[in-house]
Amino acid sequence: MAGIEALVFDFDGLVLETELPVYESWRREYEQLGVELPFATWLETIGTADHDFDPLTHLEELIGRKLDHASLQERRKLYRDSLLHAQETLPGVRDWIRDARAAGLKLGVASSSSRAWVLGHLARLGLAEHWDTVRCSDDVERTKPDPALYRLACADVAVDPARAVALEDSANGVRAARAAGMRVIAIPGPLTRQMDFGEADLVLESLAHATLAEGLGQLAR
């Protein structure tokens, strides 16, 4: 396994395609009010909770009036969840988890989302029991691209970051893992494909396009 002792997975867009449903739920609200959600601005928020963009405030600024926050959020989240619950684990994820366990690797999750969000979805997908550690925004002062989440995950499993691999779908996540001293495999999603993944050690179209052994073998080369 090329000297690797741990895999640390991002969650949103890597284990489960949550990013597109969240984006679509906001885009729909903008569209219904006759304005456009700026995609370039939205792209900067993916993979991090440390940003200043509030879509609700921005939407009110565009239309020039206040909105009923509670009813809008209730309607938006219902639509988001209808899209989310139609999603399955992304291709190859279960295979990589299975193979990592068989190889004796430690497994972690490092996510800029809340613990309730991540653990809730992992439980729904039947994946909650696979992890040696799960670190989320609740655990750190700053999320990705700050390396704190990845450093904590590696410390939890007592593995030197240099002997751990992060699996990421966003540029913010890649930067965080690199800053933590890890190697990084990027798997861009529908919203993140246009990001610059030049800092990643390896880019895969999906985890289904290589086995764990093949992916780590490519890293070694």
Catalytic residues: 10, 12
C-alpha dihedral (146, 83, 188, 164), degrees to nearest 10: 50
Can you tell me the distance from the alpha carbon of 100 to that of 4, in angstroms, rounded to the nearest whole number? 10
∠155-111-57 over CA atoms, to 5°?
A: 140
Q: Are 162 and 179 within 8 A, CB to CB?
A: no
Buried b (16+ CB within 10 A) or exposed e, 68-89: eeeebeeebeebbeebbeeeeb
Which residues sit opposite 8 in a β-bridge? 108, 166
Can you tell me the distance from the alpha carbon of 24 to that of 180, in angstroms, rounded to the nearest whole number? 32
Question: Residue 128 burial (CB < 10 Å; 0-12/13-18/19+)?
Answer: middle
- Residue ranges of alpha helices (H) inside 125-208 are 148-156, 171-179
